[in-house]
Amino acid sequence: MIYGKIACAALMLAGTLAVNDPQNSDDEAVRRLPQAFCTAFNHHNGHEVAQIMADDVDFVTVGAWWIHGRSDFEKYHTRMLSGRFAGIRFEPLHIAVRYLRPDIAIIHWSWTAVGDKNIDGTARRRRYGMMTMVAERRNGIWLVVASQNDNSDPTVSPEMQGIPSPIPLPGTEKGLP
């Protein structure tokens, strides 16, 4: 009977440790970054989007423009989200995380967007893409220090034949449902 009580107490303690494990809370915080990005984007609020970025962030847009610093990141996204992207709905699809160190993670995530416009004001069709973020824990907070966003071309090029992607994009041979 005493061994049963000890085993039960050990299991309860192990469960508590797993829930309070800093690595678990870090992983949850890192995995929330893409959703936080999309939520702020869908609020059409450049200031809110910038809150997950480090002061010295390096961000490459889908148009291949390199933005350095949170201030310029916010200025760009505020302009875009009050203009051509005022009607956008942005959604994460799949998220993959790899830790380089306990305080640095690479996040690859696929996304879909609808409701934005081209520079000439014409409506865009639904788009798909992939974003890579490098996140660093600074003073206990996970912030994006570098990111590159890419539009997807659903055509599978001959060079990609037989090479699986860990996060497939819609329209590819291993597209999403």
Q: Where are the domains of the chain?
A: 22-160
What's residue 53's pLDDT?
98
Model confidence, pTM: 0.80
Apex CA 64: angle with CA 85 and CA 103, to 5°?
Answer: 90
What's residue 94's pLDDT?
94
Q: Are 56 and 71 in contact (CB under 8 A)?
A: no
What's residue 5's pLDDT?
43
Burial of 56 (0-12, 13-18, 19+ CB in 10 A): exposed
* Nearest-angstrom CA–CA distance, 75 and 34: 20
- Quick one: tokens of 68? 């350095």
What's residue 164's pLDDT?
79
CATH architecture of structural domain 22-160: Roll (3.10)
* Nearest-angstrom CA–CA distance, 121 and 123: 7
- Written as tens digits, the pLDDT of the chain (177 aa) is 444 443 444 333 333 333 334 467 899 999 999 999 999 999 999 999 999 999 999 999 988 999 999 999 999 999 999 999 999 999 999 999 999 999 999 999 999 999 999 999 999 999 999 999 999 999 999 999 999 999 887 777 778 778 777 887 665 545 443
